Amino acid sequence: MSDVVQIITDGPGRSLVLVRSDGSRAVVELRPFAARGGVLAPLDDAPTVAAARLIDHGAAVGWPGGVEIAVATLLAAASPCTAAAE
C-alpha cells in the first residue's frame, strides 16, 4: 500500500497533486504520460484528468476507460509541491 492518501485534481495544467500521509505533497505532470499515446492518450484531456481516483487500496490512480498508473510510477515522475492544504 502507498502512503498517498489523497489526490487533488485541480493542479496546474494536466497535473495531479499527490498528498502523502505525512502531509507532504508532490505534483506530477501528466502530459508526458499522455504523449506516450495508446491507453494513456486521454490524460491530455482536462475532464479526464479531473476524474482521477485512488484505486487498489491507494496503490494506483485510475481514470475512466480503464487508464491506471501505479502511484510509485507517478511519484517517481513528481516534483515536491508547496501548495497550501485543501
What CATH number labels 4-81?
3.30.2020
**Distance, C-alpha 44 to centroid of its chain:** 12
Laid out side by side, the sheet with 67-70 consists of 53-55, 60-63, 67-70
Which tens digit of pLDDT belongs to each residue from 7-41? 998 766 789 999 999 999 999 999 999 999 999 99
* pTM, to two decimals: 0.87
